[in-house]
Structure 1
Amino acid sequence: MPLKERLIGDPAAEIRVQTFLKGEPITTLAKGRVYVVVFWAIWCAPCKAAIPHLTALQLRHPQVPVIGVAVDWTDLGEIAAFVRDQGDAIGYRIAADLPLSPGERQGTMGRTWCQAAYNTAVPTAFIIDRDGRIAWIGDPLESDDPLAAVVEGRWDLAAAREKQEAVLQRDKVRELRRLEETIERHLAAGDRTGLLQAYDVAFAADPGLEPLRGLDKFALLLATRHAAALDYARHLIGVVVADQIGPLIRLGTMLAKAAEQGTPAPDRPPAAANLALSAFTRAEALFGEGTDTITRVILADTAARALLVVGRTAEAADRARAARALAPAAFALEPDIDLAATISQLDQLVAHCDAAAGRRDGATCRLDEA
């Protein structure tokens, strides 16, 4: 059954949870009362970081129930243990979403609230007004002002709905949801031909979808139809994502990796490598003062690998050194990046490139041969 949209201004869906793990249970949203419903997960670092903020929010608005609904879980005991360990740090109600079926991670409220609002990120907060309507959806850390406005009766619901609708249209959210649902059906059936046709039909009906999902089609072609994949990559680079740095670099990286592995055609890896370099050259031409250092490192690193494949070893060495020089500053403040390991990998790449250039400049060299 198609999922009914529930956007700002629409009546909120039901509270349907498996159990409350903290605080007095709430089973219905009473008219005349404002609520905050926050979707979170125990594996989500931003969700944990939002706990003090939500506790403070509950203290400032004792008349507004704040309900944290745990989603994407399989072991209720893990959630209960997490809540117990947090103790008084969690100063608001906590519930566990009701699984759609036993053992399934997807839950009822995750579907009827988050998916229905085209917002599946966690943490996500919903503010419900006194008429039971969704008044605001967003990051819990940004909920203070909207909540105060709703509580004080000065929230502009129509303007909030108009703003959300503009984003849905701009980002083609509904169209992407329909395409993703079609893709899931073909994947479940193992129908690769139907999957490719789904992309083609969607892109023909709405060309604006191709810059958003063209790389997915390319990945599918790369795994099944090598010549067609390279032809489509040329189309993407020259037309579809020609002015988008991020997609150009992602496409170039996919091509460079395929070239290293000999994926498109074991006897002709330079074809993919040259296309990768074309994508990188176009991306680099779009760089400006605002281009972040991490992006520059990624491009230099992957370009060096593509240059090795086509035998331009001296240029590969220059690119590898550029990536190595930028990496410490680029990744120093990234908590999810192992800086030492990254530097070590780049040092190895520099050594490979230097060795290749020193042996016979202009010769083709694969990294696994160095």
Structure 2
Amino acid sequence: MESNKILSVESRAPALEVRDWVRGEPLANFQAGKLYILEFCGTSCDYCDQAMLKLIELQETYKDRGVEVVAVVAHEGAASADEARAYLEAWSAQFPELNFRVAFDTGAMGTLWMEPSFSVEIPQAFVVDRDGYIAFIGDPDDLHEVLPKILDGTWRTSAQAQAAERERIAEDEPKAREEALKKQVKAKFAAAEKIEDWKTALAAIEEGVALDPDNLSFRCAHVHLLLHKMHDMQTGLPLLRQLIRDGINTNYEMMLEVAFRELFDPAYDYSQFPSVERFAIGKELSEHILAEARLQDDDDRAHSYLMVAWYYHASGNKDRAVELLELALQPLDGPGPDGLKDDLLQTLADYKGEK
């Protein structure tokens, strides 16, 4: 990134180029004389719910001093913009006291704001001063302390602000540069995958794993490519077993789910898998998942039971598979997340030979 493109405190605020406004009246640009808190957040971000509640509080506290909060939800992990917007509308509805604008974007705001400021993690706050210049970039938790000083005009050019900004950039710039490299890896992998050039795809994903060995996305893509695209069981199965060991040791449910899907997802072809090893790994993993399911809520337990039912059905124990599906369905009142109940009912019907 060139130095003249860096966005920091004292930079002129970039434009507002959002895709759509989900809550509140559209805002075309920042108005002189008003102070804006622009916060980047997301529907699946662990800390963003609490950040939204704090923004509601800030907006109420400072509304009479010309402060306007704008939340921008960008880079949602959805299949389409319409699906991402639906997630956002459902997410924002859980804040009945919402008192500020919420915008939805699919990339421009990240390019204009997040990337030039070396911002990688969300929630991330930007404060635009009354003259259109950036007064603060950083953790929204710091706004309660910093915002009164910005409003009084004692913060932006202060030694304290400059020191805080130097510290932020020193911490965030290496993260941002690593993230940019990951983005390049993902682009190379996607391009090779599209034309089924598995050798090039493997080189790209191995580059990603070397760059970030703990990245679940890279590790899972690596395993899937070896097992299901290149059918290299000798290399892929040890990586899958390591993924399972790491998932058990760290109690990382998503890691175990991904590993399980590599073994028993009905959408995959297992004709080239060594069945003895596949079912031996599946038995051990299924027992672990069932033991952990006792501590889960109804929806998560039902999801676990559905996966393990795949294993029992594939291994020839149809009765146990049906039993698990029926147990999963008992406590579910509604459709469950992502059509879970429909999936359970359809799988149960398939296993029973019914419509």
Question: In the alignment, residue 220 of structure 2 is paired with which amino acid?
Answer: L
Q: 2:150, 2:248 → 1: CA distance?
A: 42
Find the counterpart in structure 2 of residue 310 from structure 1. Answer: 315
Q: Say if 2:239 is the partner of 1:238.
A: no
Contact 1:273–1:307 (CA<8 Å) still a contact in 2?
no
Find the counterpart in structure 1 of residue 324 from structure 2. Answer: 319
Match of 2:186 among 178, 183, 186: 183
Contact 1:35–1:65 (CA<8 Å) still a contact in 2?
yes
Q: Say if 2:264 is the partner of 1:256.
A: yes
Q: 2:354, 2:284 → 1: CA distance?
A: 24
3-state secondary structure, aligned to 1:184: helix
Question: Which string of whole-angstrom CA distances, capped at 9 and with x for unpartnered residues, describes residues 89-134 of structure 1?
Answer: 998789998xxxxxxx632x4313123444486x864224687343
Q: 1:344, 1:206 → 2: CA distance?
A: 37
Find the counterpart in structure 1 of residue 67 from structure 2. Answer: 64
Alignment of 1:191-206 (within 5 A): 191-204=197-210, 206=212
Q: Say if 2:218 is the partner of 1:213.
A: yes
Q: Say if 2:111 is the partner of 1:111.
A: yes
Q: 1:164, 1:57 → 2: CA distance?
A: 31
**TM-score under structure 2 normalisation?**
0.61
Question: Which string of whole-angstrom CA distances, capped at 9 and with x for unpartnered residues, describes residues 51-95 of structure 1?
Answer: x94995596253335567797899xxxxxxxxxxxxxx9987899
Q: 2:287, 2:2 → 1: CA distance?
A: 44
More displaced stretch, 315-324 vs 199-208: 199-208
Find the counterpart in structure 2 of residue 361 from structure 1. Answer: none
Question: Which string of whole-angstrom CA distances, capped at 9 and with x for unpartnered residues, describes residues 130-157 of structure 1?
Answer: 8734343459xx9667645653668986
Alignment of 1:101-180 (within 5 A): 106-107=107-108, 109-116=109-116, 117-119=118-120, 125-128=125-128, 132-138=134-140, 147-148=147-148, 150-151=150-151, 175-180=178-183
3-state secondary structure, aligned to 1:113: helix
3-state secondary structure, aligned to 2:14: coil
Contact 2:41–2:71 (CA<8 Å) still a contact in 1?
yes
Unpaired segments ≥5 residues, structure 1: 75-88, 98-104, 356-367
Find the counterpart in structure 1 of residue 15 from structure 2. Answer: 16
Question: In the alignment, residue 239 of structure 2 is paired with which amino acid?
Answer: Y
Question: Percent identity at matched positions?
Answer: 18
Q: 1:268 to 1:305 in 2, by over 3 A?
A: same
Question: Which string of whole-angstrom CA distances, capped at 9 and with x for unpartnered residues, describes residues 248-270 of structure 1?
Answer: 1232134211xx34513268667
Contact 1:38–1:68 (CA<8 Å) still a contact in 2?
yes
Find the counterpart in structure 2 of residue 102 from structure 1. Answer: none
CA offset at residue 217 of structure 1? 1.7
Figure out how many residues of one structure are paired with residues of the other and give that number: 311
Question: In the alignment, residue 134 of structure 1 is paired with which amino acid?
Answer: F
Q: 1:110, 1:147 → 2: CA distance?
A: 23
Q: 1:202, 1:271 → 2: CA distance?
A: 28
Contact 2:185–2:205 (CA<8 Å) still a contact in 1?
no
Q: 1:262, 1:369 → 2: CA distance?
A: 22
**TM-score under structure 1 normalisation?**
0.59
Unpaired segments ≥5 residues, structure 2: 43-48, 82-96
Question: Which string of whole-angstrom CA distances, capped at 9 and with x for unpartnered residues, describes residues 25-69 of structure 1?
Answer: 4489x9xx853224589xxxx9xx99x949955962533355677
Q: 1:2 to 1:23 in 2, by over 3 A?
A: closer
Q: 1:135, 1:115 → 2: CA distance?
A: 12
Contact 2:59–2:69 (CA<8 Å) still a contact in 1?
no
Alignment of 1:69-84 (within 5 A): none
